[in-house]
Amino acid sequence: MRAGKPDPRGGKTATSDLEERHDVQGRQQGDRYVRIVRPFQNEFQRKSAGHLVATEEVLAPTSAPGRLADRARRLLFGARIPTAHEIQERVGKAKGLAVFASDNISSSAYATEEIMRVLLLAGLGTMAALTLPITLVIIAVLAIVVLSYQQTIRAYPNGGGSYIVASDNLGPFPGLTAAGALLTDYVLTVSVSIAAGVAALTSIFPELFDARVALGVAFVAVLAIGNMRGIRESATIFAVPTYIYLVAIFGLLAYGLFRAATGTLPEYSAPQAWRDAAAVEPLGILLVLRAFASGSVALTGVEAVSNGVPAFKPPEWRNAQVVLILMGSFFGAIFLGMSLLAGQLGIVPDPSEQETVVSQLTRTLVGAGSPFHYLVQISTALLLVLAANTAFADFPRLSSILARDRFMPHYFQFRGDRLAFTTGIVALALLSAVLIFAFGGSVTHLIPLYTIGVFVAFTLSQSGMVRHWWKLRGTEQGWRWRAGLNALGAVATAIVAVVVGVAKFALGAWMVLVLIPALIALIWAINRHYRKVEDALTLDRPDAALPRRAAPRVLVLLARLDRASLEALGYARSIAPLVTAVHVTDDPAEAERMRARWRQLDVDGDTDLVILESPYRALIPPLLAYIDALQAQDPERPITVVLSEFIPRRPWEYLLHNQAALRLKLRLFFRPNTVVIDVPYHV
Amino acid sequence: MRAGKPDPRGGKTATSDLEERHDVQGRQQGDRYVRIVRPFQNEFQRKSAGHLVATEEVLAPTSAPGRLADRARRLLFGARIPTAHEIQERVGKAKGLAVFASDNISSSAYATEEIMRVLLLAGLGTMAALTLPITLVIIAVLAIVVLSYQQTIRAYPNGGGSYIVASDNLGPFPGLTAAGALLTDYVLTVSVSIAAGVAALTSIFPELFDARVALGVAFVAVLAIGNMRGIRESATIFAVPTYIYLVAIFGLLAYGLFRAATGTLPEYSAPQAWRDAAAVEPLGILLVLRAFASGSVALTGVEAVSNGVPAFKPPEWRNAQVVLILMGSFFGAIFLGMSLLAGQLGIVPDPSEQETVVSQLTRTLVGAGSPFHYLVQISTALLLVLAANTAFADFPRLSSILARDRFMPHYFQFRGDRLAFTTGIVALALLSAVLIFAFGGSVTHLIPLYTIGVFVAFTLSQSGMVRHWWKLRGTEQGWRWRAGLNALGAVATAIVAVVVGVAKFALGAWMVLVLIPALIALIWAINRHYRKVEDALTLDRPDAALPRRAAPRVLVLLARLDRASLEALGYARSIAPLVTAVHVTDDPAEAERMRARWRQLDVDGDTDLVILESPYRALIPPLLAYIDALQAQDPERPITVVLSEFIPRRPWEYLLHNQAALRLKLRLFFRPNTVVIDVPYHV
């Protein structure tokens, strides 16, 4: 290095030398970074040496439109919440029932109707005869599943979702199957519940019927926004509509049963068109199975309680068990009462799905347009929206667990401003909105897709429990009857899964039977990829040395000699001792002009110009060949290509610049041992 | 710098020191680059020190699919042509007529028909009475324009396209208006000629009628591919169909006129349905003007000869003048003969556009399906395709001139493997194919859009010539009558432009009247942008010094401590003396783990770790705030952010990585004085 010349690498002029010393001093005192940040104390707080904690100030937008957008965001989603302020609100039995039972209990809004719709195909008589027996069978299965899950709650006080129980006891593959089934199920919970909620509303406001798809999508959007706000925190919001629904519906059923017992049921008569739609298929075993499969939608949401055990107040498992029993009893009672009364009144489902069976039943008992009719319908709609909301809590949580276990992309773990799992919420909202749109907002068309996933997850979870008790056979008293009970649950739910799959196959269940394996394959491929990357990236030893690399060989691609390229050359010369400017041209005369202009420049000895003449006019191949030649001479030394990128002020102006640079970057990106540096030039 | 420690900036270890010396030696001998390229002599030839010429070898693909693609490309487009091999083929009068007249002469295939179609709306009688007079008026305008252009040829021996003449004499804005009009016109030349060519074919092969849009688009594709090959080079390909057409059509007309003179014309009778379609509008002045406007399509292509003067053999201007006169005479004779005979025979245009008037006329005279009928139709179709082809030469050439003058994006100047202006060819093909598709391949629907642009360009060009003669008034003999002749041309074409604009406004001319100003505004905005950029980028002095910048402050963003991040740290330490690793996390426990892992590493004193804790979970804002703080401390020193980017093997795997890095890059891209370096890590 010649004296009096600045060092090209350190850039040490008289001034910067001073700064460097100043820096090093600071570092030796261990508080350089704090000093640096002193003028920005609003934005960082020092925790220890080299450990700064950002304040909310760093998120403050600086531009006027940014501030406006930020204000709008706060209005929509609420103020930001720091991670440390996460609240684990615990619920007792009363609120717990409201939070965890809405998904299941809300099925009573459509379970009876879906059974009747299938049976109606074989005629009014068949429907009248078989609706109640099928309801009773389903309630029996529900009882088995509830008892079976009582044990899961006891065994998994930290939350026993199907994914966890199946992974724990049966291994990763059954666990993933349960996860795939559950993810599908959550999407359908949203679609079906919202569609049913809209149907409850259009029963009293028929003029909304034509807008049911738009209404459904709007509800999904409201739920997505609400969950980005983090509405999960407040249980009170759940309690009100759930209890209003329970009071209203039990009141209705009690009144109806009293009238039935006294023989004073009002007259009901379905329009002739509805009756004519009946009896288009013969009664056969498959039809009965299909009716059963449709009704088994009644069991959806049962696993919610066992998922959420840690959210209960102590004793958690005891409270959860009580809530599960209450939920099963309430739901069973409503379901039974509804099927009984619908049969007594001779209600016929509306083939156009304009009015629900619940609405017909209520209207017949208390009069159309009476306040009670409105109360029942609106509280039903609210409950169904809440049911959809539980999926908005469960889907993002399950996907974040899967992402943590490296089965889904990392960003499903990311929590937004309000601690909500943004990606999961958005994914769920999009998928369920697409389903509502694709199936025209019809509950009956969506139902065949719904129950498969639920029962696959049930079966795997219960089988996992059987295995669980078997593992504890030495220590646990009564493991035999416990395993037996779970085995009964597993068998019952497996049978239902098969029945649903067979009976509803052609109606849409095939989609789910294709989707779940595809989802599992995808999850598996993602996991395999992450594991491979982890293997490839993990350091052999934790005390590895930070590498010292040779200074790169730096090429600066020059299109012209202008301020932007001088900027790039200046940057290149600040990071490496020897820099080569490269100019590619197809015109020999232009090459001479470039050489002459270069000679005019005041260039010191460290930087040379190489002209690559390209008679075939291609830009990138000659450059790549030249880089290959350099690399062959000195294989260890990384190649660095510096491009000067002109940054225009307006986005459309991009189309007028940097096209060649973009293509070059793409090509060099895949070249090993090569780094591309864009030196932006802002006008 | 401590002894025994490698220099962090130069990366000088014992070995690399040696290499450095070796490099510098090479450079001092002035032939370092040649030595470097020695093992790659196939790929480069040395022209002088620091000036290498790439051979075709650099373009050779290295992978098997690449070789296959290259072979396919060669098959389709031909072998690559180096720039130096560009051939300027000169043409004489005979070939010149074929090359430059096909656009104009081919209009005879539809000019008469388009007049008749408009007149037919006022009844068969009106059509019979007015077709010939309107034809004569148009031929008179043609004569004026041809004489006017004779002078342009004389005055602009290097090619006097409307853009050049108008820019030269009237200033940039009229020049750009002419350019915008011409670009529009070229697109429509392709659409109309191809649509008419397809109509000539479907007249003899009616079964192709339903596929006419697909056929038209296919012809456009063939022309685009052909022009990428560079078929413009060979004039012979043009000569054959043009002369076959001339011979066939003159034979037909002579035969027809002989039969007419001898009173032996065969009987013709149009189907009743065609006659019924007539007389739906009253005869008025606007209808006559519309018929005139439709027929003025006959003048399209006249400017081609004056555009192409330098392509003629010497004496260029004299040959070009002769060709222009010949073209005008031939076209006028055909147009007149066609209108005369169609009137004599009483031909009625087919409202469904299934058979052209020329085909009906030929069929009536020589018998349907006779070889001569086929000859006329096929040579007409070929000539029309050639006419479209002239636009494929003119549009890319004009856009490359506009790009050179910085009125269009740079890449319109780029010439591909075969010296063709690829971007212009592709743009023209896409635009004209879209038009054919949008107008269902109908000539009659496209015609209203066509002629506006032509006559606007004519008017500007002729006005420019008037100005030209005025400027030469001192030196040029007879400038008065020359200016007068051009003024007559300008007035005549201006009148036609206004007539077309008014008469066809509602039929589609409005689109062009909107499009041309929009195009001019776009071209102007592009030019303004390029000029501003040029102003901002041009060096103040040609002997500016290459800047010496301070070494950048380098931050390495660490997500984890793994091989990829060590690679990035190694690279960072090779380009700057002081490197700071930055880790952003929302989890205090994770921060502690990172700190502990960092302590385990073998880090020397030049690299520190800073942890930014982000309680609100955002990644980018705290980092930006930290960078701002650093920058505020030392505003001169550029900030460099090094990211380690993991490069997966398969494209879909990208979705699982680098999402945060991508967003960060986008944000930093717009930050002044900041450079982002991606250090790719290939598994």
pLDDT at A3: 39
The mean pLDDT value for B552-556 works out to 92
Query: Chain A: nearest CA to B656, how far in angstroms?
Result: 5
Q: A543 to chain B: which residues are within 8 Å by CB?
A: 600-602
Show contacts of B3-9: CB within 8 Å, 24+ apart: B5/B604, B6/A548, B8/A548, B8/B573, B8/B574, B8/B576, B8/B577, B8/B606, B9/A7, B9/A9, B9/A10, B9/A551, B9/A577, B9/B551, B9/B574, B9/B575, B9/B576, B9/B577
Closest partner residue to A546 (CB to CB) among B607, B672, B675 is B607
Rounded-to-integer distance, Cα A168 and Cα A317, Å: 19
User: Could you give the 3-state DSSP secondary structure of residue A44?
Assistant: strand
pLDDT in tens, A200-244: 999 999 899 999 999 999 999 999 988 887 655 556 777 888 899
Interval A256-275: pLDDT, tens? 999 999 988 888 888 888 88
Residues in A touching B41 (Cβ below 8 Å): none
The alpha carbon of residue B434 is apart from the nearest alpha carbon of chain A, in Å, by 22
CA Rg, chain A, in Å?
Answer: 34
Question: Between β-strands A639-647 and A674-682, what pairing exists: parallel, antiparallel or unpaired?
Answer: parallel
By the 8 A CB rule, do B255 and B365 touch? Answer: yes
CA of A187 vs chain B CAs: smallest distance (Å): 22
pLDDT at B196 over 70: yes
CB-nearest to A58 from B411, B545, B625 is B625
Q: B36: pLDDT confidence band, cut at 50, 70 and 90?
A: very low
CB-based contact A184:A366 (threshold 8 Å): no
| Highest-confidence segment of B57-61, B121-125, B276-280 | B121-125
Provide the pLDDT for residue A291: 92
pLDDT band at A88 (very low <50, low <70, confident <90, very high): low
pLDDT digits (tens, 9 = 90+) for B349-386: 988 888 899 999 999 999 888 899 999 999 999 999 98
Tokens standing for residue A572:
């290149």
- pLDDT for res B40: 57
Read off the pLDDT of residues B344-355 as tens digits, 9 standing for 90 and up: 998 999 888 888
Positive or negative, the CA dihedral B135, B140, B145, B147 is: positive
Q: Cis bond leading into B315, ω under 30°?
A: yes
Quick one: pLDDT at residue B235? Answer: 66
Q: Which two tokens stand for residue B606?
A: 């030049």
Q: Pick from A53, A530, A630: which is nearest to B613 by CB? A: A53
Distance CA B110, CA B96 (A): 23
Q: What is the DSSP string of B551-596?
A: PPEEEEE-SS-SHHHHHHHHHHHHH-S-EEEEEEES-HHHHHHHHH
Contacts of A560 in chain B (CB under 8 A): 537
pLDDT at B143 over 90: yes
What phi and psi values does residue B610 have, to the nearest 5 degrees? -115, 130
Q: What confidence score (pLDDT) does residue A59 get?
A: 81
Two tokens, residue A4 = 């009096």
Give the CA diameter of chain B: 114
Residues of A in contact with B559 (CB under 8 A): none
Q: Where are the alpha helices (DSSP H) in A619-658?
A: 620-633
Question: CA A104 from chain center: how many Å?
Answer: 22
- Per-residue pLDDT reduced to its tens digit, A623-653: 888 888 888 888 878 899 999 888 877 777 7
Say if residue B656's pLDDT is above 80: no
Q: Do B44 and A626 touch (CB under 8 A)?
A: yes
pLDDT (mean) for A110-119? 93
Q: What are phi and psi of B42, to 5 degrees?
A: -65, -30
Any chain A CB within 8 A of the CB of B416?
A: yes
Do A615 and B50 count as a contact with CB atoms less than 8 A apart? no
For B4-56, give the secondary structure using H, E and C. Answer: CCCCCCCCCCHHHHHHHHHHHHHHHCCCHHHHHHHHHCCCEEEEECCEEEECH
| A272, A273, A279, A280: CA torsion to nearest 10 | 160
Catalogue the E-assigned strands of B200-346. none
Would you say the pTM of this structure is higher than 0.90? no
* Closest partner CB to B612 (pick from A54, A576, A669): A54
Token pair in block for residue B360: 């009906």
Q: Which of B563, B629, B680 is the closest to A39 by Cβ? A: B629
Instruction: Report residue B410: phi and psi, to 5°.
Output: -45, -40
A414: chain B residues, CB-CB within 8 Å: 617
Assign residue B11 a region: left if phi > 0, alpha if psi is -120 to 50, beta otherwise? left
User: Closest Cα to residue B198, out of B187, B208, B186?
Assistant: B208
Q: Name the residue facing A542 among B32, B37, B600 (closest C-beta).
A: B600
Please tell me the predicted confidence (pLDDT) of residue B234.
Answer: 59
**How many beta-carbon pairs below 8 A join chains A and B?**
381
The predicted structure's pLDDT at residue A301:
87
Q: Token pair 């470039």 is at which residue?
A: A594
Which of A51, A423, A524 has the highest number of chain B CBs within 10 A, making it the mutation to test binding with B?
A51
Q: How would you classify residue A270: left for phi > 0, otherwise alpha for psi between -120 and 50, otherwise beta?
A: beta
**Mutation choice for A interface testing from B31, B616, B678 by most A CBs within 10 A:** B616
Residues of B with Cβ-Cβ distance to A604 under 8 angstroms:
546
State the pLDDT at residue A22: 36
Which DSSP helix (H) or strand (E) runs through A580?
strand A579-585
* Model confidence at A322: pLDDT above 70: yes
Task: With beta carbons under 8 A apart, name residues in chain B contacting A617.
Answer: 83, 414-417
Q: What is the pLDDT of residue A11?
A: 37
Weakest-pLDDT range from A56-70, A512-526, A562-576, B172-186? A56-70
pLDDT for res B362: 93
CB contact under 8 A, B50 and A609: yes
* Minimal CA separation from B396 to chain A, in Å: 17
A547 neighbors B570 (Cβ within 8 angstroms): yes
B421: three-class secondary structure by DSSP? coil
Q: Which residue of A has its CA nearest to B571?
A: A549
C-beta atoms surrounding B429 within 10 Å? 23
Contact yes or no for A469/A483 (Cβ under 8 A): yes
Residue in B542, B562, B626 nearest the CB of A538: B562
Confidence (pLDDT) at A89? 67
B618 vs A: CB within 8 A: yes
Contact A100, A394 (CB under 8 A): no
Return mean pLDDT, chain A.
Answer: 85
When pLDDT is cut at 50, 70 and 90, the band that residue B89 belongs to is: low
Confidence of residue B15 (pLDDT cuts 50, 70, 90): very low
Q: Which residue in A537, A611, A632 is closest to B562 by CB distance?
A: A537
Burial label for B31, CB within 10 Å (0-12, 13-18, 19+), is middle
**Buried-exposed string B524-561: b where 16+ CB fall within 10 A, e elsewhere:** eebbebbeebeeebebeeeeeebebbbbbbbbbbbbeb
Task: Report which of residues A27 and B298 the model is more confident about.
Answer: B298
**pLDDT number for residue B669:** 82
Q: Note the pLDDT of residue B253.
A: 94
Cis amide leading into A315 (omega within 30)? yes
Residues 484-543 of B with CB under 8 A from A: 526, 529-530, 532-533, 536-539, 542-543
Return d(Cα A465, Cα A148) in angstroms, integer: 9
Q: Is the pLDDT of residue B231 over 80?
A: no
**How close B655 comes to chain A (CA, Å)?**
8
Q: Quick check: A420 and A227 in contact, CB under 8 A?
A: yes
Determine contact: A410 vs chain B, CB below 8 A.
yes
Of the candidates A537, A551, A602, the beta carbon closest to that of B9 is on: A551
B420-473 per-position pLDDT tens digit? 788 999 999 999 999 999 999 998 889 888 888 889 999 999 999 999 999 988
- Summarize pLDDT for A485-544 with one digit per residue, the tens: 999 999 999 999 999 898 888 888 888 889 999 999 999 999 999 898 888 888 888 888
Task: Confirm or reject contact between B622 and chain A (CB < 8 A).
Answer: yes
CA A514: distance to chain centroid?
20
- Cβ–Cβ gap A601/B544 under 8 Å: yes
Q: Mean pLDDT across the stretch A643-672?
A: 81
Average the pLDDT over each of A62-76, B16-30, B316-330 and give the range with the smallest value: B16-30
Q: Are B617 and A414 in contact (CB under 8 A)?
A: yes
Asked if A646 lies within 8 A of B47 by C-beta distance, the reply is no
Q: Which two tokens stand for residue A235?
A: 């249980």
Return the pLDDT at A234.
59
Q: Which residues contact A73 (CB under 8 A, 6 or more apart)?
A: A417
Tally of CB atoms within 10 A around B573: 26
Burial tier of A66 (Cβ tally within 10 Å: 0-12, 13-18, 19+): exposed
pLDDT in tens, B113-127: 999 999 998 888 888
Query: How far, in whole angstroms, is CA A62 from its chain's centroid?
Result: 31
Interface test with A, best of B617, B627, B647, B658 (most A CBs within 10 A): B617
pLDDT at A41 over 70: no
Greater model confidence, B76 or B520: B520
pLDDT band at A83 (very low <50, low <70, confident <90, very high): confident
CA B550 to chain A, closest CA, distance in angstroms equals: 4
For residue A568, pLDDT beyond 80: yes
* Chain A residues in contact with B578 (beta carbon < 8 A): 20, 23
Nearest C-alpha neighbor of A444 from the set A209, A203, A195, A210: A195
Question: Do residue A625 and residue B569 have CB atoms under 8 angstroms apart?
Answer: no
Give the residue from B579, B672, B661, B534 showing the smallest Cα distance to A679: B672
Strand partners, A641: A555, A676
Residues 308-367 of B with CB under 8 A from A: none
Query: In this model, does residue A594 exceed pLDDT 70?
Result: yes
